[in-house]
Every structure is written in C-alpha cells, then in structure tokens.
C-alpha cells in the first residue's frame, strides 16, 4: 500500500512539474507574441502610412455606440491626414447649411508628435489639423496589438472619442 501511494505521489509531482513548465512556456510565448506585435505596430506608426478604423464612438460621459463596418476612419499618409468620422455632439459655433455633420478633414498635419512607452507597449500620436472652419486637436493612443483610442477635440464642437483598430493604409 505504501508503494502504491508513493508511486501516486511521484506521478502527481511529475504532472504538476510538467503543468508548471507548460504554463511558464505559454507565458513566455504570450510575451514574445506581444513583443512582436508591438514592434510591428511601432514600425507601422514610424512609416506614417496607417489607418485607424472606427469600431465604437462615444461623447464625453455617454454610452458608446457600435460602428463596426461603418466605413469611418482616420488615415495618415506621410504629412497628411484624411478623416471621415461620425459626429453627434454639440456644435458651439459655425457650421451653416451645406456643411458636413461628421468630422471631415483632408489636409496637412501640424505639430505631429509620437511618444513611445516601451514598458507599457503603448504609442501616443498627437497632431493638429486645421481647415477653414475649425481646428482639430487629435490624440491617438495605440496599444501593442493595434487596438486604439482616438480623441478629437475641436475648436467649435464637443469632444468625441473613438475606439478601433490600427491597420496599414
């Protein structure tokens, strides 16, 4: 009987050791995958040829609205930005008839800055876009897997927040 219980204990210890190694290996694989994803996203941002695709939209202090597949985006191409973003906030001034209700901008970026937080595997892109009627202060927070948060502050409208995915344009 002692022999059976000793063998059982040894077998259990063996399997626990294997499981522990397997968990460690899985953790190492996840960390390696995360690092590779972050490097790929970093290269994409450095190329200045990327597109943010909107999946959800919210105003400050409101519930998010799902916009997956809605065709809304922000595209960065070298020194230019092109936006087609939904807007459902309050306009503070301007905006007469014939003007788009969404946030539409196609032009040069000003004060383009990129901040890398390698320890958190997060990238922050900030820039300003100006057109004839308003100035847009844009902040794009990009996470290691490409999921992103976009904040747009306007000189004439309420702020809007968007969540989505960063892809190659």
Geometric angle at alpha carbon 52, from 71 and 59, rounded to 5°: 80
| pTM score, whole prediction | 0.81
Which sequence spans correspond to the domains of the chain? 41-168
Topology of domain 41-168, CATH = Lipocalin (2.40.128)
Instruction: Give pLDDT, residue 139.
Output: 98
- Average pLDDT of the residues in 79-83: 94
Is residue 1's pLDDT more than 60? no
Q: Map tokens 């190694």 to a residue.
A: 21
- Average pLDDT of the residues in 13-27: 68
Distance CA 101, CA 115 (A): 31
Is residue 98's pLDDT more than 50? no
Alpha helices in the chain (DSSP H): 2-47
Q: How far apart are the first and last CA of the chain?
A: 69
Is residue 84's pLDDT more than 60? yes
Instruction: Give pLDDT, residue 42.
Output: 95
Least confident span in 64-78, 113-127, 137-151: 64-78
Closest CA to 147 of 26, 47, 56: 56
């Amino acid at each position: 009987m002692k022999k059976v219980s000793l063998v059982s204990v040894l077998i259990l210890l063996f399997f626990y050791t294997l499981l522990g190694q397997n968990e460690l290996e899985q953790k190492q694989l996840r960390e390696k995958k995360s690092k590779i994803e972050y490097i790929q996203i970093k290269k994409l941002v450095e190329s200045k040829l990327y597109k943010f695709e909107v999946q959800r939209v919210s105003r400050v202090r409101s519930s998010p609205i799902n916009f997956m597949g809605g065709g809304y985006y922000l595209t960065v191409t070298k020194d230019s930005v092109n936006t087609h973003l939904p807007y459902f906030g309050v306009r503070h001034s301007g905006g007469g008839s014939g003007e788009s209700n969404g946030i539409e901008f196609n032009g040069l970026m000003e004060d383009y800055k990129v901040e890398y937080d390698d320890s958190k595997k997060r990238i922050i892109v900030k820039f300003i876009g100006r057109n004839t009627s308003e100035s847009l202060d844009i902040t794009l927070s990009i996470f290691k897997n490409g999921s992103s948060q976009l904040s747009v502050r306007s000189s004439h409208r309420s702020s809007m927040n968007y969540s989505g995915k960063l892809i190659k344009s």
